[in-house]
Amino acid sequence: MFRWALGAGVAGASLLGQAAAAHALESRSYVVSYFSQQFNSRDGDCPGGVNPDDQAGQYAVILQGLGYKPDEVKSMMSEWAKGGDGEERINAIVNARAVINGQNVNAYTHPEATKDPGLKFVTSKVGYGFNLDGKDGEVSFTDPQTGEKGVDNMLSRAIGCNQNFRGSWDAPSAYGEWIWVQLKDSQPAWLITITGEDIDKDGPVTVRLTRALEYLKSNLDGSPRHFMTYRVDPDPRSHNEFKAEIKDGELKVTEHKPLSLLWNALSSPVLNLKNTHLRLKMLKGDTLDGLVGGYQPWTEIYFAFSHNGIVGDRPGLYYAMKKAADADPDPKTGMNMSISTAYRITAVPAFVQETPHLRYQSAEVK
Amino acid sequence: MSQLKIMLKVGVAAAAIVFAAGTQAADKGAKRPVYTTPPGITLQALGRGQGWDLGKETASVVFRDEVAYTDARGMTMYTYKLDAPGKSNCTADCTEKFKPVAPIAGSVAFGDWSIITRADGAKQWAVQGRPLYTYTEDVDPGSLAGNSAARFGAKRMDGSGKMVGGGIRGSGGRAGGKDKPMPENWQPALMYPAGEKFGAVPNGVQIEEILESSALGLVDHRRHTLYVFDGAAKDEKKLTSAGWTPLAAPAIGFPIGDFTIIARDDGTSQWAYKGQGLYSYDEDQKFGDSYGVGADTRWKVAAVQKHFLPDGVKLQPTLNQGYTWATEAGMTLYKRDGHIYQSGGGHSLHRGQPHRPAVGRDIGTKSRCGDACDQWKPFLAPANAQPQGYWTVYTRDDGQKQWAYMGYALYTFAGDKKPGDMLGHDTYNMELSFDAKKIVDVGTPMDGVATLVWAIAYP
């Protein structure tokens, strides 16, 4: 039984051995410095090439499908490219292209009222992630880092043939890079705190994932600043604690409970994972680098995609994820509502205050 | 003020200036603030400040360039240049297009607000002596000179709860349309920008709308909020060492209107407003911050005017979201909003999701929360509640009245167990249709998948 000794003030990431009644425990805290879906794109893993992704190209195809003649499409896309009212007008036509009972409706709310473009799936057998179901099937991957077989990451298989999701461990996808730059400065940061008797040695630890009240603090060049102070948001919707094990400098959670972290409506309002798996290499300089994976409601992923043209054909992604979903069948329809996935996660050392106090006690406006 | 010697002193405030500590004649002696508007008169941001265009330009910020005095329905009010002070010259044919704004029963003149008698004996509101009218060409709150998103194709709810306009939303419908000119000799009755109606101010000092404090207040050259101290002078001197910076005045200067110069013990000079020294608070880092209010209850925003606040509502500080509206008991108030995708914004950050009154009106009291509705309790208003300032009153299906702020009906969340909890914040409900023949309607236009969100209601 340990006590979070951080409550009374600010605790150091690596400087404190936290005293408890029976055991001397130490805690190290980190702030997440990158988080996005992990892909392992390779030449030839999309038969016949990747899906068309250019937004203008997509729109041109859609407008043709709506019955506009080629010269009309050319004129409309020229108007779209100029931005302003013209762009808004074309966007409105494309957005409302779904038709139900003769009425034009929002295609992203009603993807079933649009045609499935049949996006290609990744055919590769090598991909990052975790074996979530203990099985090794036809659509499973082998993880290139761990060699683990039966890796479940159907999200990367479903969307990995779209140009902006093409990426690798060393070269993140364009979407991943773009969304992280957006997210890091517009959402409270996520925190990781590892607690154990001696974190430098192999042995059991506890890992706590929470959300801060502050956003990630960065250097002038945009890189994450080390050893900054963050306060833990008392909102219990972002409080998670897992038993874990450190072996050979790598932390792995040993209990695979659900994970819930309030996120950002730019990606998904909440990161919800079931059967959570986490592995983090503890690198020199007290940084962390690894993967977190599990089954995630695919509609929550679609939420972000539905708003953002850079992802490619949005209803197409809806159909792709719906087909690839591999967990949580709906009791009534049988449709799988969750999809296996893996996210790259890195973190830098930070100070964490567990129980923030309100600095401003009252407001009188009357 | 015993330790702060008044060096220069000027006369009383201009008639146009009212201060928060003043009283309102209508209250028959009760000590109440003087607000920016009387009962039945509301405030509306004009144009895109309504949030009608969900496009890129308004995704992250809704510009509140102009705020107009509006009638009980939220319709923009105008003044007529050919009117004489306290007398309307808009009669006969003129009133075909411009309707005099009649006071609601029981209205009483105060401050800038007076009630004039028209030639036909009817009563009419006037502000600073100028009679007020609405314009029949306007279609919904935020309209100006008949120009509205609704006119350009957007489907919007007007002030009486009727849907107007149609077709596609946003500026996309503008193609082929052209702004109507302002009718000759007419101008909108603007509450903000404040302009010169509050009199002269020292160089660098401005009057800005500080929503965080629900007031029109004074700001310094950085647009940082200015404060006055309402406690004992000895305490003021002591507290100035704790993050309070006096607003420096020239060593040789002259009083301006309500602004005087006081000599401080250290030999420096400080601007004062109505005899009270002006300070900025070091914790305020940008325009709109007013954290000094909560640092010590004796510090007040140097308010020129306060916006109306219903009984039973207060501003409450939070850990990272600034101030929220809360009940007198400290329970957080929430609004039901339409999700807006905002690259570069930040829903989880302070003021990350801008007010869009048009969206609030679209949703009205139909929160579409399904089984979770028993968790969200309407914040009810008295049966005789009147719209005033940014607060309006909706009638629920069961006939009960519900308070709304800037168009958004307000609620409390049953999951909040103690004052200050805001566990309902950022609760999203995505309405994705899995049925090729079922149309989902969340009551307001959506860019991506239709989504409604519960969010804290902030000023």
pLDDT at A18 over 60: no
Taking CB atoms and an 8 Å limit, are A307 and B447 in contact across chains?
Answer: yes
> What is the model's pLDDT at position B176?
44
Taking CB atoms and an 8 Å limit, are B449 and A307 in contact across chains?
Answer: yes
- Is the domain of A224 the same as that of A340? yes
Distance (Å) from the alpha carbon of B101 to chain A's nearest alpha carbon: 28
* Residue A270 belongs to a domain: yes
Q: Say how many C-beta atoms besides its own lie within 10 A of residue B82's C-beta.
A: 11
> What is the model's pLDDT at position B289?
86
* Residue A362 belongs to a domain: no
Question: Which residue in A92, A110, A363 is closest to B315 by CB distance?
Answer: A363
- Is the domain of A37 the same as that of A59? no
Distance (Å) from the alpha carbon of B353 to chain A's nearest alpha carbon: 11
B172 touches chain A (CB under 8 A): yes
**Is the Cα dihedral B322, B324, B329, B331 positive or negative?**
negative
- Is the domain of A215 the same as that of A149? yes
Cβ burial, residue A168 (10 Å; 0-12/13-18/19+): middle
B322 touches chain A (CB under 8 A): no
Taking CB atoms and an 8 Å limit, are B172 and A262 in contact across chains?
Answer: no
| Nearest in space to B221 (alpha carbons), one of B287, B130, B137 | B287
| B53 or B390, greater pLDDT | B390
- Provide the Cα torsion A266, A272, A275, A280; round to 10°: 50
Which of B136-145, B430-439, B442-451 is the least confident region? B442-451
| Amino acid at residue number B354 | P
> What is the model's pLDDT at position B329?
97
Q: What is the mean pLDDT of residues B336-340?
A: 88
> What is the model's pLDDT at position B288?
86
* Residue A322 belongs to a domain: yes
Question: Which residue in B306, B341, B347 is closest to A365 by CB distance?
Answer: B306
Distance (Å) from the alpha carbon of B428 to chain A's nearest alpha carbon: 7
Model confidence band, residue A13 (pLDDT cutoffs 50, 70, 90): very low
Distance (Å) from the alpha carbon of A105 to chain B's nearest alpha carbon: 8
> What is the model's pLDDT at position B17?
31
- Is the domain of A242 the same as that of A330? yes
Q: What is the mean pLDDT of residues B357-373?
A: 92
ipTM of the complex: 0.88
Model confidence band, residue B53 (pLDDT cutoffs 50, 70, 90): low
Distance (Å) from the alpha carbon of B199 to chain A's nearest alpha carbon: 23
Domain interval for residue A109: 55-113
- Is the domain of A74 the same as that of A186? no
pLDDT at B166 over 70: no
CB-CB neighbors (< 8 A) of A366 in chain B:
33, 309, 314
- Is the domain of A316 the same as that of A269? yes
pLDDT at B297 over 50: yes
Distance (Å) from the alpha carbon of A268 to chain B's nearest alpha carbon: 10
Question: Which residue in B317, B423, B430 is closest to A299 by CB distance?
Answer: B430
- Is the domain of A63 the same as that of A175? no
- Is the domain of A214 the same as that of A276? yes
> What is the model's pLDDT at position B343?
59
- Is the domain of A184 the same as that of A329? yes
Model confidence band, residue A91 (pLDDT cutoffs 50, 70, 90): confident
Give, in degrees to the nearest 5, the angle at Cα B169 between B165 and B171.
Answer: 105
> What is the model's pLDDT at position B152?
61
Q: How far apart are CA A237 and CA B413, in angstroms?
A: 15
Taking CB atoms and an 8 Å limit, are A188 and B349 in contact across chains?
Answer: yes
Taking CB atoms and an 8 Å limit, are B432 and A109 in contact across chains?
Answer: yes
Distance (Å) from the alpha carbon of A200 to chain B's nearest alpha carbon: 34
Taking CB atoms and an 8 Å limit, are B175 and A89 in contact across chains?
Answer: yes
pLDDT at B333 over 50: yes
User: Which chain A residue has its CA at the smallest distance from B321's CA?
Assistant: A213
Question: Which residue in B171, B339, B434 is closest to A88 by CB distance?
Answer: B171
B224 touches chain A (CB under 8 A): no
- Is the domain of A195 the same as that of A82? no
Give, in degrees to the nearest 5, the angle at Cα A353 between A350 and A358.
Answer: 135
CB-CB neighbors (< 8 A) of B453 in chain A:
265, 269
CA B341 remoteness from chain centre: 24
CB-CB neighbors (< 8 A) of A185 in chain B:
346
Taking CB atoms and an 8 Å limit, are A262 and B169 in contact across chains?
Answer: no
Distance (Å) from the alpha carbon of A150 to chain B's nearest alpha carbon: 30
Altogether, the residues listed in chain B come to a count of: 459
Taking CB atoms and an 8 Å limit, are B293 and A360 in contact across chains?
Answer: yes
CB-CB neighbors (< 8 A) of A363 in chain B:
293-294, 314-317, 323
Q: How far apart are CA B19 and CA A334, in angstroms?
A: 65
Distance (Å) from the alpha carbon of A172 to chain B's nearest alpha carbon: 20
Distance (Å) from the alpha carbon of A214 to chain B's nearest alpha carbon: 7
Return mean pLDDT, chain A: 89
CB A9, CB A85: distance < 8 Å = no
Question: What's the number of domains chain A is made of?
Answer: 2
| B178 or B53, greater pLDDT | B178
B450 touches chain A (CB under 8 A): yes
Structure tokens at A304: 């972000």
User: Which chain A residue has its CA at the smallest distance from B295's CA?
Assistant: A360
Give percent above pLDDT 70 in chain A: 91
> What is the model's pLDDT at position A65?
86
CB-CB neighbors (< 8 A) of B298 in chain A:
none
Question: Which residue in B214, B297, B437 is closest to A100 by CB distance?
Answer: B437
| Amino acid at residue number A118 | G
| Amino acid at residue number B31 | K
B409 touches chain A (CB under 8 A): no
CB B363, CB B338: distance < 8 Å = yes
pLDDT at B23 over 60: no
* Residue A154 belongs to a domain: yes
User: Which chain A residue has its CA at the smallest distance from B348's CA?
Assistant: A187
- Provide the Cα torsion B171, B173, B179, B183; round to 10°: -110
- Is the domain of A199 the same as that of A285? yes
> What is the model's pLDDT at position B22?
31
CB-CB neighbors (< 8 A) of B33 in chain A:
366
Q: What are φ and ψ of residue B406, in 5° steps? A: 50, 40
Q: How far apart are CA A201 and CA B34, in angstroms?
A: 67
* Residue A2 belongs to a domain: no
B122 touches chain A (CB under 8 A): no
Question: Which residue in B345, B349, B434 is closest to A112 by CB distance?
Answer: B434
What is the C-alpha radius of gyration for chain A, rounded to an integer number of angstroms? 23
Taking CB atoms and an 8 Å limit, are A100 and B423 in contact across chains?
Answer: no
> What is the model's pLDDT at position A273?
98
DSSP collapsed to 3 states, chain A: CCCCCCCCCCECCCCCEEECCCCEEEEEEEEEEEEEECCCCCCCCCCCCCECCCHHHHHHHHHHHCCCCHHHHHHHHHHHHCCHHHHHHHHHHHHCCEEECCEEECCCCCHHHCCCCCCCCCCCCECCCECCCCCCCCCCEECCCCCCCCEECHHHHHHCCEHHHCCCCCCCCHHHHHHHHHHHCCCEEEEEEEEECCCCCCEEEEEEEEEEEEECCECCCCCECCCEEEEECCCHHHCEEEEEEEECCEEEECCCCCEEEEEECCCEEEEEEEEEEEEEEEECCCEEEEEEEEEEEHHHHHHHHCCCHHHCCHHHHHHHHHHHCCEEECCCCCCEEEEEEEEEEEEEEEEEECCCCCCCCCCCCC
Question: Which residue in A88, A93, A306 is closest to B170 by CB distance?
Answer: A88
Q: How far apart are CA B451 and CA B253, in angstroms?
A: 57
CB-CB neighbors (< 8 A) of A299 in chain B:
430, 432
| B379 or B18, greater pLDDT | B379
CB A317, CB A311: distance < 8 Å = yes
* Residue A365 belongs to a domain: no
Surface of B (325-364) touching A: CB under 8 A: 339, 341-349, 352
Give me the total of CB pairs closer than 8 Å, taking one residue from chain A and one from chain B.
Answer: 182
DSSP collapsed to 3 states, chain B: CCCCEECCCCCCCCCCCCCCCCCCHHHCCCCCCCECCCCCCEEEECHHHHCCCCCHHHHCCCCCCCEEEECCCCCEEEEECCCECCECCCCCCHHHHEEECCCCCCCCCECCEEEEECCCCCEEEEECCEECEEECCCCCCCCECCECCCCCCCCEECCCCCEECCCCCHHHHHCCCCCCCCCCCEEECEEECCCCCCCCCCCCCEEEEEHHHCEEEEECCCCCECEEECCCHHHHHHHCCCCEEECECCCCCCCECCEEEEECCCCCEEEEECCEECEEECCCCCCCCCCHHHHCCCEEECEEEECCCCCCEEEEECCCCCEEEEECCCCECEEEEECCCCCCCCCCCCCCCCCCHHHHHHHCCCCCCHHHHHHEEECEECCCCCCEECEEEEECCCCCEEEEECCEEEEEECCCCCCCCCCCCCEEEECCCCCCCCCCCCCCCCCCCCEEEEEECCC
Taking CB atoms and an 8 Å limit, are A182 and B316 in contact across chains?
Answer: no
Taking CB atoms and an 8 Å limit, are B434 and A85 in contact across chains?
Answer: no
Model confidence band, residue B61 (pLDDT cutoffs 50, 70, 90): low
- Is the domain of A295 the same as that of A317? yes
> What is the model's pLDDT at position B345?
56
> What is the model's pLDDT at position A358?
64
Taking CB atoms and an 8 Å limit, are B450 and A106 in contact across chains?
Answer: yes
* Residue A363 belongs to a domain: no
pLDDT at A252 over 50: yes
Taking CB atoms and an 8 Å limit, are B214 and A365 in contact across chains?
Answer: yes
Per-residue pLDDT tens digits for A187-223: 899 999 999 999 999 999 999 999 999 999 999 999 9
Per-residue pLDDT tens digits for A308-323: 878 888 999 999 999 9
Taking CB atoms and an 8 Å limit, are A360 and B295 in contact across chains?
Answer: yes
B360: left (phi over 0), alpha (psi -120 to 50) or beta: alpha
My answer on whether omega of the bond before A356 falls inside 30° of 0, hence cis, is no
* Residue A3 belongs to a domain: no
